[in-house]
Amino acid sequence: MKQILENLKKENNYRFLKTIQYEGKYVLYQGKKVLNLAGNDYLNIAKNENLREEFFRQIQKKDFFLSSSSSRSLSGNCSVYEKFENDLAQKMNKTNPHSLKQMKSKDTKEVLHFNSGYQLNLSCIQALGTLANTLFIADKSIHASVIDGLRLSTSTFVRFRHNDMSHLESLLQQHYKKYENIILISEALFSMDGDFTKLKKLIEFKKQYKNILLYIDEAHSVGCFDESGLGFARYLGLDQEIDFLVFTFGKALASTGACIITKKEFKEFFINKARAFIYSTALPPLNVAWTHFIFEKLSTFTQQRHNLQEKSQFLKNTLLQNGFEVLGQAHIISLMCKSNEKADELANRILQCGIFAPAIKVPSVAKNTARIRFSLHCDLDEEDLEKIVKSLLQ
Ligand SMILES: Cc1ncc(COP(=O)(O)O)c(C=O)c1O
């Protein structure tokens, strides 16, 4: 063990926990107040005290429980879970103004709540991997929770180069006749490169090769797109085409937990086969009630969504104009540093200038693609954005 830890230190890859304290858009770290660009409170909901107070004023006594004391399979299935799942399903099944497609009853989706996005991806993918004659095809930059699910699964998986549709097509041509099911996995907005998946193309493939099921993780896009806040696929009018749509609640929604939106028969399958759903105590009802409360408010955050994207574009353009290599099409902007050492050095330098954006290194990203990842939020002002740029130019 000592040797492993020593090696991690040598590779600039040793993780340690930073003690921080929140103070609005800042954090107190090492005795200094620094601008927090490492959190995922994209819409400023976690910091909103008025919302929290409103929630606590209206929460019903029956939902004010700090433990569910059991898995939902046993006695933990408090009514608050089903109420949330049914209300969200109703929202997702409403006619989508961005879609030309008429909703049919066979397309109706249901919702299943999980304790976290990590548990959801891990266990749903493992469960899907028990289906006979199944192949997973995943984007190379897919989140670790999906990779861990693929590793646990008994089915084969292959990966295509990040967002490279020609590579994906060649894998489909190579494999589609050999398998009964092909499960295609991607993220709507990628957590590290901050770019969007090519959803329209994935759906074209689904129509072309009849045995494809589409699995899309919206961890970083739910809340931030569409006038109802229901994510990127919904915004494009394509959510009905997705067989497994994953929302996580710990980022823009400022809560905890996750859900999968899928057809009734798959929900039934996951209740029976997703091990993290079966073998873990369900989240406290209070947390689920808070998630539900936020979903009810999501359509009111239009201005915050607009500000978030406007500021993100401004920062990206300014960094590009100043000669930096940056990735990202929305509120996640990655400044490429290549080596772990360079990323660490830059993160320390900008920290001295009051910017908290730790380096993201191998193995969270591929070798030679270490970076500083800026997770932006809607309450950044012009001065904050200028401060970021200045800190990098020092
Ligand atoms: C794309 C993606 N999926 C899933 C997860 C896991 O979600 P949770 O934090 O709810 O476990 C994350 C979180 O980092 C993520 O970025």
Per-residue pLDDT for 358 more than 90? no
Among 124, 191, 232, 288, residue to substitute to test ligand 1 (most atoms within 8 Å of Cβ): 191
Per-residue pLDDT for 13 more than 90? no
Let me know: does 348 contact 379? Beta carbons within 8 Å.
no
Mean local confidence (pLDDT), 308-330? 97
Identify the CA nearest to 249 among candidates 111, 68, 50. Answer: 111
Among 118, 291, 332, residue to substitute to test ligand 1 (most atoms within 8 Å of Cβ): 118
Mean local confidence (pLDDT), 255-283? 98
**How far, in Å, CA of 94 to CA of 89, rounded?**
9
Per-residue pLDDT for 231 more than 80? yes
CA–centroid distance, 386 to ligand 1, in Å, is 30
Mean local confidence (pLDDT), 315-329? 96
The mean pLDDT value of the chain amounts to 96
Q: Spell out which residues line ligand 1, taking CB within 6 angstroms.
A: 116-118, 121, 143, 145, 187, 191, 217, 219-220, 248, 250, 258
**How far, in Å, CA of 370 to CA of 343, rounded?**
6
pLDDT at 106: 75
Per-residue pLDDT for 159 more than 90? yes
Q: Whose CA is nearest to atom 7 of ligand 1?
A: 117
pTM above 0.95, yes or no: yes
Per-residue pLDDT for 100 more than 80? no
pLDDT at 107: 82
CA–centroid distance, 120 to ligand 1, in Å, is 9
**How far, in Å, CA of 322 to CA of 193, rounded?**
19
Nearest 5°: phi and psi at 185? -120, 135
Identify the CA nearest to 330 among candidates 364, 295, 374, 361. Answer: 374
Among 248, 249, 332, residue to substitute to test ligand 1 (most atoms within 8 Å of Cβ): 248
pLDDT at 88: 98
pLDDT in tens, 276-318: 999 999 999 999 999 999 999 999 999 999 999 999 999 999 9
DSSP for 82-105, written as a single string: HHHHHHHHHHHHSPPTT--SPP-G
What angle (nearest 5°) sits at the alpha carbon of residue 343, between those of residues 338 and 348?
165
pLDDT at 99: 83
Q: Whose CA is nearest to atom 3 of ligand 1?
A: 219
Residue 183 tokens read as 């499960």
CA–centroid distance, 340 to ligand 1, in Å, is 23
Residue, of 186 and 95, whose pLDDT is higher: 186
CA–centroid distance, 338 to ligand 1, in Å, is 24
pLDDT at 143: 97
